[in-house]
Structure 1
Amino acid sequence: MAENLTIVVADDHPMLLKGLTEELTANDYNVIDTALNGAIALELITKLNPDIAILDIEMPLLTGFEVIKKCEDKNLKTKFIVLTSHKESRFIYKAKTLNISGYLLKDEPFHEIQKCIHTVFNGEYYYSSTFNDVFDKEISPKIQKIKLLSPSERTIIRLIADNKSSKEISESLLISIRTVQKHRSNIINKLDLSSDQDALSNWVSTNKLLLASI
């Protein structure tokens, strides 16, 4: 089946791109083109309409995620596999929201890449075990806590994410600063954060993608 599917590979590290392409070709995969940046990757995918595109996340001009979003807007049939070094929850959550077919770490053995390609080609999803661990242990619990927030608390936490002060929030919502502070206290309790002065701001800063989904 390997020779029957077409693949485009994009990575801004020439040696990694060359190594993966050669490994795929040696195992009878039909790599029809490669790209060293996101703009070229988008151009190739749009022009060639491959079955699968294997993309790095952080590339010049367009990130892997931006390439995928633009391809989805064009309703292309290409399925996407992200091959990355990133294990951070914000990258994994972004991949989940984009409904990416595969997410693998660059230190995975080649047989994992093969397994991912064939699973994705058959219309299923394939994620690194690290991906699933991070989603289940870090992201999902946060989402559950966010769901505990009341509509008013969700409004306020979005404004905090926009770097609004308590005074600015009170003026925007026509409520007292004391009411804003009460809401902030409730949010901190529901998110199970410490009482440290910057705890909520720091949490919001690192979880903006999650907040955008509520």
Structure 2
Amino acid sequence: MTIRILIADDHPLFRRGVRDLLEAEGYSCIEAVDGVEALDQIRKEQPHIALVDLAMPRVGGLEVIAEAIRWPDAPRFVILTLYDDSHLIERAFDLGTSAYLLKENAEDELLRCLDSVSAGRRYLSHSIAQSPGAHCGGPDTQMSLLTPAEKRIVRLVAGYKTSREIAELLNISVRTVQNHRAHIAEKLGLHGRHALLHFAVSAISSPLARK
């Protein structure tokens, strides 16, 4: 089966570059120049995956996702953007987005991202997930400082779960999750927008992280 992909972006040269890359790999592509056309193309063409820019004319990318993700046969959404912002990432995954990819990484990561999304996995740009935090000591040492509840939070953060999703999985409030995240960051000396995510991704493969 040929996978149909919508490319929704208001920059024609960027759309063309992405389309050339994907069609060379056997994907079928359609395009939209703004959010209104993106919604129309999703209704008419029913793409399997939609690549959506955040900052589009008329209707932005998050608004497109919030509307279309409720439709029958909604595509899986990949945000392809310039914005490296933790609040936007959290909001995107809360809406049900499958991947958040920075445009600067698209040439190297887009095909890998699409493989993950097609397999039902979430994907986050490596430059975000692996951005250096200010923590010291190895992940084993740092995980040993955490309580069992905090370790559960770290495992879920490593799986790109949002605070809302973690709250639902653990049957606690979003505020409690946010407090846990803040306490973990303070305890481990983590600073920066993505420091906790970076630590979690690094730590989850260590033996102590699985205990």
Establish whether TM, by shorter chain, passes 0.5: yes
SS in 2 for 1:118: helix
The one-character-per-residue Cα deviations of 1:115-165 (angstroms, maximum 9, x if unpaired) are: 1111111111111124435777xx97x9668548xxxxxxxxxxxxxxxxx
Q: TM-score, normalised by structure 2?
A: 0.60
Q: Report if aligned partners of 2:35, 2:60 keep a CA contact under 8 Å in 1.
A: yes
- In the alignment, structure 1 segments of 5+ residues that lack a partner are 149-191, 193-214
Aligned length: 144
Partners of 2:77 and 2:86 lie apart in 1 by 19
Partners of 1:126 and 1:88 lie apart in 2 by 15
Name which of 85, 90, 115 aligns with 1:88. Answer: 85
Partners of 1:46 and 1:127 lie apart in 2 by 27
The one-character-per-residue Cα deviations of 1:82-140 (angstroms, maximum 9, x if unpaired) are: 1111001221111121121111100115241001111111111111124435777xx97
Q: TM-score, normalised by structure 1?
A: 0.60
Cα 1:121–1:11 shift into 2, 3 Å: same
Q: Report if aligned partners of 1:46, 1:76 keep a CA contact under 8 Å in 2.
A: no
Partners of 1:145 and 1:81 lie apart in 2 by 26
The one-character-per-residue Cα deviations of 1:66-88 (angstroms, maximum 9, x if unpaired) are: 11111122233310111111001
SS in 2 for 1:40: helix
Structure 1 runs of 4+ aligned residues shifted over 3 Å read 130-136, 142-148
The one-character-per-residue Cα deviations of 1:153-207 (angstroms, maximum 9, x if unpaired) are: xxxxxxxxxxxxxxxxxxxxxxxxxxxxxxxxxxxxxxx9xxxxxxxxxxxxxxx
Q: How does 1:166-181 map to 2 (within 5 A)?
A: none
Q: Report if aligned partners of 1:87, 1:130 keep a CA contact under 8 Å in 2.
A: no
Cα 1:105–1:115 shift into 2, 3 Å: same
- In the alignment, structure 2 segments of 5+ residues that lack a partner are 132-156, 164-173, 181-185, 187-211
Q: Report if aligned partners of 2:11, 2:33 keep a CA contact under 8 Å in 1.
A: yes
Name which of 47, 65, 68 aligns with 1:71. Answer: 68
Q: Report if aligned partners of 1:101, 1:120 keep a CA contact under 8 Å in 2.
A: yes
Partners of 1:146 and 1:54 lie apart in 2 by 30
Percent identical across equivalent pairs? 31
* Corresponding residue number in structure 1 for 2:5: 7
Q: Could you say which structure has the larger radius of gyration?
A: 1
Cα 1:48–1:109 shift into 2, 3 Å: closer
Partners of 1:69 and 1:127 lie apart in 2 by 19
Give the letter for the 2:14 counterpart.
Answer: L
Partners of 1:71 and 1:52 lie apart in 2 by 12
